[in-house]
Amino acid sequence: MRTATRVTVLTGAGVSAASGVPTFRGANGLWKQHRPESLATAEAFARDPALVWEWYAWRRSTIAACRPNRAHEVIAAWGRRYADFTLITQNVDGLHEAAGTRHVVRMHGSLWELQCWNRCAVAPARWEDRRADFVELPPRCPHCHGLVRPGVVWFGESLDPEVLRQCDAALDCDLFLTIGTSSVVYPAASLAPEAKRRGAYTVEINPDTTPASATLDLAIQAPAEAALDAVDRSARIS
Residue 27: CB atoms within 10 Å? 5
Question: Residue 43 class from Cβ within 10 Å (0-12 exposed, 13-18 middle, 19+ buried)?
Answer: exposed
| Element spanning 111, H or E | strand 109-116
Q: Is 143 among the catalytic positions? A: no
Which residues are registered as beta bridge partners of 178? 10, 204
Q: At what angle do helices 70-81 and 224-235 cross, to 10 degrees?
A: 30
Catalytic residue, candidates 72, 96, 103, 108: 108
Where do the H-state alpha helices sit in the chain? 13-16, 36-39, 42-47, 49-64, 70-81, 95-99, 161-170, 191-197, 224-235
Which residues are registered as beta bridge partners of 115? 149
DSSP type of residue 31: B
Classify strands 175-179 and 104-106 as parallel, antiparallel or unpaired. Answer: unpaired
Residue 105's nearest CA partner among 88, 86, 127, 90 is 88
Residues 6 or more apart in contact with residue 35 via CB below 8 angstroms: 24, 29
Active site members = 108
